[in-house]
A and B are shown apart, each in its own frame.
Chain A
Amino acid sequence: MTRKKPDGSEPLWRDEFSVRAEDERLVTRRQFAKFLTLTSVAMAAGNLWIVVRAWLRKAPEYPRVTVASIGEVPIGGVKLFNYPTPNDPCLLVRTDEQTHVAYSQVCTHLSCAVFFNGESERLECPCHRGSFSVADGSVIAGPPPRRLSRVVLERRGSELVAVRMEV
Chain B
Amino acid sequence: MSARNFYIDPSRCIGCQSCVQACSECDTHRGQSMINFDFIDRPESIGSAAYVCFHCEDPTCAEVCPADAIKKGIDGIVQSALDPRCIGCSNCVIACPFGIPKMKVAQEQMMKCDMCYDRTSADLKPMCATVCPSQALTFATPEEIARTRREVPTNVFYFGDQKVVTKVMMMVPADVEAMSVDVVDYMWEPQS
Contact = CB atoms under 8 A, between A and B. Distances in A.
B63 A24 contact: no
Given A1-B60, A3-B58, A19 B70 contact: yes
A3 B56 CA distance: 15
Count class of interface residues, chain B: 10 to 19
Contacts of A3: 58, 63
A89 B72 CA distance: 72
Q: Is the interface of A mostly helix, strand, loop or mixed?
A: loop
Contacts, number: 25
A113 to B, nearest CB: 64
A17 B85 CA distance: 13
A119 to B, nearest CB: 74
Contact of B74 (A1, A17, A22): A22
Nearest to B68: A17
A40 B129 CA distance: 46
B58 A21 contact: no
B79 to A, nearest CB: 8
A58 interface: no
Interface string B67-83: 01011111000010000
B62 A19 contact: yes
Interface string A19-30: 111101000000
Tell me if B's interface is mostly helix, strand, loop or mixed.
Answer: loop
A21 B74 contact: yes
A5 to B, nearest CB: 15
B107 interface: no
B72 A1 contact: no
A21 B70 CA distance: 9
Contact of A1 (B63, B68, B70): B63
A21 B73 contact: yes
Given A1-B60, A1-B63, A3-B58, A19 B162 contact: no
A20 B71 contact: yes
A92 to B, nearest CB: 72
B153 interface: no
A38 B59 CA distance: 36
Given A1-B63, A1-B162, A19 B73 contact: no
Contacts of B58: 1, 3, 19
A166 B71 CA distance: 66
B72 A20 contact: yes
Interface in B100-124: none
Given A19-B59, A20-B74, 4 more contacts: A1-B63, A1-B162, A19-B72, A22-B74
Interface of B: 58-60, 62-63, 68, 70-74, 79, 162
Which 6 residue pairs are nearest across A and B when measured between Cβ atoms?
A19-B62, A21-B71, A17-B68, A21-B73, A22-B74, A20-B72
9 contacts: A3-B58, A3-B63, A19-B58, A19-B63, A19-B70, A21-B72, A21-B74, A22-B74, A24-B71
